[in-house]
Amino acid sequence: MHAIPFFNYKGAFSAHEQAYLDLLSDIIRRGAFIQQRDLVEFEQHLAAYMGVKHAIGVGNATDGLIMAFRAVGLGAGDEVIFPSHTMVASPASAAHCGATPVPVDIGPDHLIDPAAIEAAITPRTRAILPVHLNGRTCNMDPILDVARRHGLLIIEDAAQALGSTYNGRMAGSFGKAAAISFYPAKILGCFGDGGAVVTNDDDVARTVRLLRDHGRNDDGEVETWGLNSRLDNFQAAVLEFQFKNYADIISHRRALAAVYESELGQLAQLALPPAPHDDGPHFDVYQNYELEADDRDGLRAFLKDRGIGTLIQWGGKAVHQFAGLGFTQTLPETDRFFQRCMMLPMNMMVTLDDARAIASCIREYYGA
Q: Residues 113-151: pLDDT tens digits? A: 999 999 999 999 999 999 999 999 999 999 999 999 999
Report yes or no on 4 lying in a domain: no
Residues of the domain holding 167: 10-243
Report yes or no on 216 lying in a domain: yes
- 3-state SS, one letter per residue, for the chain: CCCECCCCHHHHHHCCHHHHHHHHHHHHHHCCCCCCHHHHHHHHHHHHHHCCCEEEEECCHHHHHHHHHHHCCCCCCCEEEEECCCCCHHHHHHHCCCCEEEEECECCCCCECHHHHHHHCCCCEEEECCECCCCCCCCHHHHHHHHHHHCCEEEEECCCCCCCEECCEECCCCCCEEEEECCCCCCCCCCCCCEEEEECCHHHHHHHHHHHECCECCCCCECCCCCECECCHHHHHHHHHHHCCHHHHHHHHHHHHHHHHHHHCCCCCEECCCCHHHCCCEECCCCCEEEEECCHHHHHHHHHHCCECCECHHHHCCHHHCHHHCCCCCCHHHHHHHCCEEEECCCCCCCHHHHHHHHHHHHHHCCC
Task: Assign 278 a pLDDT band (cuts: 50, 70, 90).
Answer: confident
CB 115 within 8 A of CB 68: no
Residue 277's pLDDT is 83
Residues 175 and 143 placed together within one structural domain of the fold: yes
Task: Assign 359 a pLDDT band (cuts: 50, 70, 90).
Answer: very high
Mean pLDDT of all residues in 16-34: 91
Q: Residues 162-174: pLDDT tens digits? A: 999 999 999 999 9
Give the end of a domain, one of 214, 243, 272.
Answer: 243
* CATH number for the domain that contains residue 194: 3.40.640.10
Q: Residues 306-338: pLDDT tens digits? A: 999 999 999 999 999 999 999 999 999 999 999
Give the end of a domain, one of 225, 243, 261.
Answer: 243
Residue 36's pLDDT is 87
Number of compact structural domains in the chain: 2
Residues 238 and 252 placed together within one structural domain of the fold: no
Mean pLDDT of all residues in 9-22: 91
- Mean pLDDT computed over every residue of the chain: 96
Residues 308 and 224 placed together within one structural domain of the fold: no
Q: In terms of pTM, does the model score above 0.75?
A: yes
Mean pLDDT of all residues in 217-222: 96
Res 221 pLDDT > 70: yes
Gap between the Cα atoms of 105 and 102, Å rounded: 10
Report yes or no on 3 lying in a domain: no
Residues 269 and 290 placed together within one structural domain of the fold: yes
Residue 279's pLDDT is 67
Mean pLDDT of all residues in 212-221: 96
Q: Residues 65-78: pLDDT tens digits? A: 999 999 999 999 99
Of 62-76, 92-106, 234-248, 275-289, minimum mean pLDDT range: 275-289
Report yes or no on 2 lying in a domain: no
